[in-house]
Amino acid sequence: MTMNPRHKKITHRAIGLLLWVGVSYGAWAQNTEAFSPKLGAYQEALELYDQEKYNSARIAFEDYLNDYPDGPQAALAQYYAGLSALYLLHADGERRVRDFIRQYPTHPKAGTALFEAGRFYYQNKNYNKAVELFNEVPTGSLTRDQNVERKFKLGFALFTLRRFAEALEYFNGLKRNNHEYQAASNYYAGYIAFEQGDLV
C-alpha cells in the first residue's frame, strides 16, 4: 500500500515538529540546570570571594559543600573555602589548601593553590613560609606570568632572609627577560653582587 502524498507531507511535518519540541525541551532543561539552586549557591559564594568578603564567602562555600557534597562545583568550593580560611588567618587555612591538593591532585587549581598560599604569606611578610610554599609549587601548572612572579617573590623573600646566594640565582635568571620584575631583579642582583664584591 502506498502512502498518499498528502499524508506523507503531514507525517514529515509531525516528525519535524516532534524533533523541534524534543530539541527545544532539551535546551530548556539544560538552561534551567544553569540556574539550579546548586549553581546559584556556588555563584553567590564566589561573588562574595571576588568582593574579598572572605568570612561570608567561607561560610557560603561550606554551606554549599554541606548541601551538595558531590555538586558540580564541590572541588572549587573546597579550594575557595580553603583560601578564604587562609586569608582570614584561620589556623586551619593552610591545612585546608593542602587537603584540597590531596583530594583533587589533577584539578587545574591544585597547581595554583600553593602559589596562592605562598603569595599570601609573602604579602604578609612571612618570608620563611613563603619560601617553603613557593618551593613546593609545581611550576608546570603556572602561567608564564605567575611563574615569573613566583621566582621574583621567592628571590626577594630569600634576599630578605639574607640567603643571598640563593636569591641571586633567581634575580640573575629574571633580569635577562622582559617582564614587570626585570628592573627590580637587575637592581637586587647588582646589589648582591656589589655586597659580595663581585663588581669591578
Residue 178 CA, distance from chain mean position: 25
CA atoms within 13 A on the CB side of 52: 1
3-state secondary structure the chain: CCCCHHHHHHHHHHHHHHHHHHHHHHHHHHHHHHCCHHHHHHHHHHHHHHCCCHHHHHHHHHHHHHHCCCCCCHHHHHHHHHHHHHHCCCCCHHHHHHHHHHHCCCCHHHHHHHHHHHHHHHHCCCHHHHHHHHHHCCHHHCCHHHHHHHHHHHHHHHHHCCCHHHHHHHHHHHCCCCCCCHHHHHHHHHHHHHHCCCCC
> What predicted TM-score, i.e. pTM, was given to this entire model?
0.75
- Residue 14 has a pLDDT of 47
Q: How far apart are CA 48 and CA 58, in angstroms?
A: 9
- Residue 195 has a pLDDT of 86
- Residue 13 has a pLDDT of 56
- Residue 42 has a pLDDT of 92
Extents of the domains making up the chain? 36-105, 127-200
- Residue 18 has a pLDDT of 47
- Residue 11 has a pLDDT of 53
CA angle 149, 82, 170 (to 5 degrees): 20
- Residues 65, 67, 69, 75, CA torsion sign: negative
- State the residue for C-alpha cell 534551567: 32
CB 151 within 8 A of CB 174: yes
Residuewise pLDDT in 10s, the chain (200 residues): 555 655 555 554 545 444 444 444 444 444 444 456 668 889 999 999 999 999 999 999 999 999 999 988 999 999 999 999 999 999 999 999 999 999 999 898 988 999 999 999 999 999 999 999 999 998 888 999 999 999 999 999 999 999 999 999 999 999 998 999 999 999 999 999 888 876 54
- Residue 6 has a pLDDT of 59
